[in-house]
Structure 1
Amino acid sequence: MISARDTIRVDADVATVFEFMDDPHNHAAVTPRLTGVRDVERLENGGKRLSFTYRMAGVGIDGELVQTVHEPNERMRFEMRGRLEGTIDLAFEAAGDGTDLTYAAEYDLPDGVFTSLGEPVVRRFNERQLRATLENVAERFAPGMD
């Protein structure tokens, strides 16, 4: 099981950051190596179900995300299904005029990825990708950005 967790301060209020992250197409815009988001379907809980493609170790990995928790301005939780299995949690907390956005992920990778790269390399790669995603979100709301 690979796990990673990090937090960043975003220069926007919680409602604005939550709304941005509530659009699956924005995930593709800020998440390195997420190359496709499609078949987005709204669920009764306010969340979404969608298909995605993520590139890892030169391979496109297709899967499905199902948003099992959708608590406006507080939390989102997604289950990953397919070759990548696990969860993604996003937590939103007011911090002055901004938002502390926490991204936590736990998942199992396909055996071939572990075999070819080794777990420590994959773990570091995923920690960097998670941090880059958070930095990309924060950059969207940096002063002077439209």
Structure 2
Amino acid sequence: MVSVSRSIRVDAPAEAVFDYVDEPENHVELTPSLVDVSNVEPLENGGKRLEYTYKMAGVDLTGTLETPTYEPNERIVFEMDGDLTGTLTWTFEATDGGTEVAYAAEYDLPGGVLARVAEPFAVRYNERELRTTLENLRDRLELDAGDEDGDGE
């Protein structure tokens, strides 16, 4: 099992950060190796179900994500099924006019023995992915907050 986690402070209200992360289409912009999200469907609990394509080491991995746990402005848990199985957990904690955002990924690699050989690479790869994803989130939301008229300046 691959398990990675990271957190970052974002100078934006928890509601704004949560709302941004809650839109699956935004993840393609945030996550470098996420190629596509499609067929997004709302769930009764407020969460979503969607299909994704993620590229790891040049290989397209596809599957579905579904949110069994959805706590507005606090937590979103995605269950992954498909080429990768596991969970992605986002948590949001309001702090001093900003938000502490934590992102954790825990999943199994396909392939038995090959997966065990690839696991150290996958951990390093996904640690870098999480760091970049959170930095992109911070940069995007802080840039938007500094551009109140929306003109990009």
On whether the aligned pair clears a TM of 0.5, the verdict is yes
Q: CA deviation at 1:118?
A: 2.6
What CA distance in whole angstroms lies between the structure 2 residues aligned with 1:35 and 1:119?
Answer: 21
TM (norm. structure 1) is: 0.94
1:1-146 counterparts in 2 under 5 A?
A: 1-111=1-111, 114=114, 118-143=118-143, 144=146
Q: Is the 8 A contact 1:5 1:103 kept in 2?
A: yes
**2:109 corresponds to which letter in structure 1?**
L
Select between 115-124 and 82-91 the one with higher mean Cα deviation: 115-124
**2:129 corresponds to which letter in structure 1?**
Q
* C-alpha RMSD of matched pairs (Å): 1.8
**1:64 corresponds to which letter in structure 2?**
T
Judged with a 3 Å threshold, the aligned counterparts in structure 2 of structure 1 residues 71 and 115 are, in CA distance, closer, same or farther, namely closer
What CA distance in whole angstroms lies between the structure 2 residues aligned with 1:4 and 1:105?
Answer: 5
Q: Is the 8 A contact 1:57 1:113 kept in 2?
A: no
Q: CA deviation at 1:32?
A: 1.1
Q: Structure 2: 5+ residue runs without aligned partners?
A: none
Select between 113-122 and 72-81 the one with higher mean Cα deviation: 113-122
TM (norm. structure 2) is: 0.90
What CA distance in whole angstroms lies between the structure 2 residues aligned with 1:44 and 1:72?
Answer: 13
| SS class of match (2:46) | coil
Q: Structure 1: 5+ residue runs without aligned partners?
A: none
Q: CA deviation at 1:57?
A: 1.2
Q: CA deviation at 1:136?
A: 0.5
What CA distance in whole angstroms lies between the structure 2 residues aligned with 1:68 and 1:81?
Answer: 13
Number of equivalences: 146
Select between 13-22 and 116-125 the one with higher mean Cα deviation: 116-125
* Amino-acid identity (%): 52
